C-alpha cells in the first residue's frame, strides 16, 4: 500500500553539472579544440551546439548557482564535518574502491570529489531555502499534531488484500467498540489489527502529522480531537480508520524536521516563493546573462513557477513508482 502520508519532496533547481566552454550564440569564437582528427576537429562550441541551448542553459545556470551559493554560505557550513560523513559512508560501504564503483554505476564519470562537492552544494542550498522561507514555532504548533491510527483496508487496485467496503466497515466498528470499552487497549489492538504496515510495529503511531499531509477526511478528524481523544470510524481513500490524538510535544530535532517539511509544503503550494528568492539572490550577485537565448531558456524553464511545479510532479511520480 502507498504511504498514508503524502510525499513532501525537497524543492531544488536541479540540473547535471558539466564544465562548459564558451556559450555565446553567434560568437566568432569557435571554441577550444577538444579532439583533432584527419576528418576535422571537434571544438567545445561543436559540443555546445549539439547539446542545444536549453541543455546548455540548464548546466550553465547550475554552475553559476553553485558558485553563488558557495560564496554566500561556505562560511556557515561545516564542510569538514560533511567530508567526514562521506568518509564514514565509504568505510561502511567497504572501502574507497567499492564506493567509487557504486558512484560510477549511478552516474558514469562521477568521482569521489564530485560526490563530496555535491553534499556541500546540497547543504548550501538547504541554508539558502531556510533563510528564504521562514517557518515559525507558532506555525508548527498550529499545523502539526501527533496521532496514531488503526486502518482496516478496503479492497482496491492498490490494496488487493483489503476487505469489501461492508466487511471493512463492520470490522472497524467492532474494533472501535472494544476500544471504547477499554481505551488503554488502543496500542495493543493497533499492533494486532491495523493493516497499515508502516505503523503496525509502532502501535499505529504516525508521529507528528502536518496539515496538508494526509487524506482530507483523516486530517479533519485528527485535528478536531483533543489530546488522548479517540475518533469514531473515519473513511479515507485507503479504508476505515480509528484515530487517536496523542499527547507529547515535538523535540528540538523533531521540530526542525517538521519545519523543513512544512517549508517544502509551502513551496510546493506556492512555487513563486522560492523562484522570487532565487531571483533576489541572483540580483544580489549581479548575475548578467550575456546570451539572449540562454537568458530566455533560464527564464522560461528554470526561474518559472510552472516549470518548477512540473519538475515537482515528475519527481513525485518517480518516487511513487519506486
Beta bridge partner(s), residue 153: 239
What pLDDT does 12 receive?
57
- pLDDT tens digits, residue range 231-271? 999 999 999 999 999 998 999 999 999 999 999 999 988 99
| Residue 88, burial from CB neighbour count under 10 angstroms (0-12, 13-18, 19+) | exposed
What pLDDT does 315 receive?
66
- Please count the residues of the chain: 322
Q: Is pLDDT above 50 for 25?
A: no
Mean pLDDT of 187-215: 95
- pLDDT tens digits, residue range 141-186? 999 999 999 999 999 887 778 999 999 999 999 999 999 999 999 9
* Backbone phi, psi, residue 154, to 5°: -100, 135
Confidence of residue 50 (pLDDT cuts 50, 70, 90): confident
Task: Pinpoint the alpha helices (H) of the chain.
Answer: 44-51, 53-73, 79-93, 96-106, 112-132, 137-143, 165-181, 186-193, 216-224, 252-269, 272-284, 292-301, 305-321
Beta bridge partner(s), residue 151: 241
Is the Cβ–Cβ distance between 209 and 144 less than 8 Å? yes
Mean pLDDT of 73-77: 96
Q: Centre a 10 Å sphere on the Cβ of residue 76 and count the other Cβ atoms it contains.
A: 10
What pLDDT does 81 receive?
96
What pLDDT does 57 receive?
87
What pLDDT does 27 receive?
41
Q: What is the DSSP letter of 251?
A: P
Is the C-alpha dihedral spanning 71, 130, 133, 302 positive or negative? positive
Confidence of residue 74 (pLDDT cuts 50, 70, 90): very high
Amino acid at each position: 500500500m502507498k504511504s498514508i502520508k503524502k510525499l513532501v519532496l525537497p524543492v531544488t533547481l536541479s540540473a547535471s553539472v558539466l564544465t562548459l566552454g564558451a556559450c555565446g550564440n553567434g560568437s566568432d569564437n569557435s571554441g577550444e579544440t577538444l579532439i583533432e582528427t584527419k576528418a576535422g576537429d571537434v571544438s567545445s562550441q561543436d559540443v555546445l551546439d549539439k547539446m542545444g541551448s536549453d541543455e546548455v542553459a540548464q548546466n550553465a545556470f547550475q554552475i553559476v548557482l553553485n558558485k553563488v551559493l558557495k560564496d554566500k554560505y561556505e562560511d556557515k557550513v561545516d564542510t569538514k564535518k560533511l567530508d567526514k560523513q562521506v568518509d564514514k559512508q565509504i568505510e561502511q560501504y567497504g572501502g574507497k574502491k567499492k564506493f567509487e564503483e557504486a558512484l560510477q554505476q549511478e552516474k558514469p564519470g562521477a568521482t569521489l570529489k564530485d560526490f563530496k562537492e555535491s553534499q556541500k552544494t546540497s547543504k548550501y542550498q538547504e541554508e539558502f531555502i531556510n533563510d528564504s522561507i521562514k517557518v515559525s514555532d507558532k506555525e508548527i504548533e498550529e499545523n502539526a499534531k501527533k496521532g496514531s491510527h488503526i486502518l482496516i483496508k478496503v479492497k482496491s487496485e492498490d490494496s488487493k488484500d483489503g476487505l469489501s467496503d461492508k466487511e471493512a466497515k463492520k470490522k472497524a466498528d467492532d474494533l472501535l467498540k472494544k476500544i471504547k470499552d477499554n481505551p488503554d487497549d488502543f496500542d495493543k489492538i493497533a499492533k494486532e489489527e491495523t493493516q497499515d504496515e508502516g505503523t503496525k510495529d509502532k502501535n499505529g503511531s504516525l508521529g507528528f502529522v502536518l496539515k496538508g499531509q494526509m487524506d482530507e477526511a483523516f486530517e479533519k478528524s485528527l485535528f478536531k480531537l483533543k489530546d488522548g481523544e479517540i475518533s469514531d470510524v473515519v473513511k479515507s481513500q485507503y479504508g476505515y480508520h480509528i484515530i487517536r490524538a496523542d499527547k507529547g510535544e515535538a523535540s528540538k530535532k523533531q521540530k526542525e524536521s517538521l519545519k523543513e517539511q512544512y517549508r517544502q509544503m509551502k513551496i510546493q503550494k506556492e512555487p513563486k516563493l522560492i523562484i522570487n528568492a532565487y531571483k533576489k539572490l541572483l540580483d544580489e550577485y549581479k548575475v548578467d546573462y550575456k546570451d539572449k537565448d540562454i537568458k530566455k531558456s533560464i527564464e522560461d524553464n528554470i526561474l518559472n513557477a510552472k516549470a518548477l511545479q512540473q519538475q515537482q510532479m515528475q519527481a513525485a511520480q518517480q518516487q511513487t513508482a519506486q
